[in-house]
Amino acid sequence: MKADIHPKVFEIEISCACGAKYPTHSTKKQINVEICSACHPFFTGKQKLIDTAGRVERFNRKYKKFEKK
């Protein structure tokens, strides 16, 4: 087997723009990300549904006749 063909692995912390840090191993010495699970709207529950052109209202009007009372 050939010697010294594998890249060196470092213990690093991935840094997010929100300030969260995650320890891991990588061949890179530093990793910075813009968004993580601590600040992403999907995971925080702060995601908003955008109603474009009244599609939700149109759907509700169309299927209101099938609604059980």
Per-residue pLDDT 10s for the chain (69 aa) are 788 899 999 999 999 988 999 999 999 999 999 988 888 877 777 766 666 677 778 888 888 877 666
**51 alpha carbon, distance to own chain's centre:** 22
Which tokens hold the place of 52?
């474009």
Angle at 58 between CA 54 and CA 63, to 5 degrees: 155
The CA distance from 13 to 40, in Å, is 19
Pick from 12, 20, 13, 64: nearest CA to 38? 20
How many C-beta atoms surround the C-beta of residue 54 within 10 A?
10
0.85 exceeded by pTM: no
